[in-house]
């Protein structure tokens, strides 16, 4: 399987037979889901510490020993403080914010830096890094005569290109860039077509911002 740099694939596709053609597989536009290893690890660590502390306290009480002082103080504070107390409201707000954050992580795919590519085989999913796609498009821009510099930003559904032309007519450079970038975007093999937004300008005067 060949493709743009920094492209990732779940599995390697089998070699295609000569004379055969492939067609896109439905569902190839779905984004990759992040494993969320860091949040999951932190949550598991916190739960492990809290569960271990309470388990130790229960075992100590069952063994006719005094319970942990922090647990007794926490129980007393929860029993005596009213619901409108500032510390109770603060703790509830923090717990709600953490719960909302975990829910957002659970229902969102993440990995926004990976753009899904077209699937030509049902067992293969490939993704292209945004920075790699921007590098490819920027190099193609610099191949156009008259382009002095270019800045490319690749988003999920839009590609923003800002080019500086130091000679040739701006309209001619814009037309050439549009043709080159349209071809380059198709060559990236993205599952969801990217809309091109192109701006071409002259370089600013020395000492002034363009």
Rounded to the nearest 10 degrees, the angle between the axes of helix 37-62 and helix 69-80 is 100
Sequence-ordered list of residues with C-beta below 8 angstroms from that of 141, at least 6 positions apart, any chain: 147, 150, 152, 161, 163, 177, 180, 181
| Digit-coded pLDDT (tens) for 55-98 | 888 888 888 887 778 878 878 887 888 888 888 899 889 999 98
Q: Is 113 exposed, middle or buried (0-12, 13-18, 19+ CB in 10 A)?
A: middle
| pTM confidence score | 0.63
| Cβ pair 111, 125 in contact under 8 A | no
What is the pLDDT at residue 26?
A: 55
9-57 pLDDT, tens digit each = 444 444 444 343 345 555 556 777 887 888 888 888 999 998 998 888 8
Distance CA 79, CA 118 (A): 59
**pLDDT tens digits, one per residue of 102-158:** 888 888 887 888 888 888 888 888 889 999 999 999 999 999 999 999 999 999 889
Determine how many CB atoms are found less than 10 A away from the CB of residue 159.
22
pLDDT tens, position by position, 21-33: 345 555 556 777 8
Which residues are CB-neighbours of 119 under 8 A, at least 6 positions away? 24, 25, 27, 28, 125, 126, 191
If you ran DSSP here, which 8-state letter would residue 192 be given?
S
């Amino acid at each position: 399987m060949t493709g743009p740099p920094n492209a990732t694939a779940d599995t390697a596709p089998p070699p295609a037979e000569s004379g055969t053609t492939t067609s896109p597989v439905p569902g190839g536009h779905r984004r990759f889901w992040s494993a969320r290893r860091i949040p999951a690890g932190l949550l598991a660590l916190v739960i492990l510490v809290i569960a271990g502390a309470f388990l130790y306290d229960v075992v100590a009480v069952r063994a006719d020993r005094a319970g942990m002082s922090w647990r007794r103080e926490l129980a007393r504070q929860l029993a005596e403080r009213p619901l409108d107390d500032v510390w109770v409201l603060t703790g509830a707000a923090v717990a709600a914010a953490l719960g909302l954050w975990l829910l957002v992580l659970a229902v969102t795919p993440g990995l926004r830096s990976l753009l899904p590519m077209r699937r030509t085989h049902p067992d293969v999913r490939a993704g292209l890094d945004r920075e790699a796609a921007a590098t490819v498009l920027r190099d193609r821009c610099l191949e156009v005569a008259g382009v002095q510099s270019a800045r490319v930003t690749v988003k999920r559904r839009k590609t923003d290109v800002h080019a500086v032309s130091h000679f040739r007519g701006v309209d001619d450079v814009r037309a050439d860039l549009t043709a080159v970038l349209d071809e380059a975007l198709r060559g990236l093999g993205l599952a969801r077509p990217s809309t091109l937004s192109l701006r071409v300008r002259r370089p600013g005067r020395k000492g002034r911002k363009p």
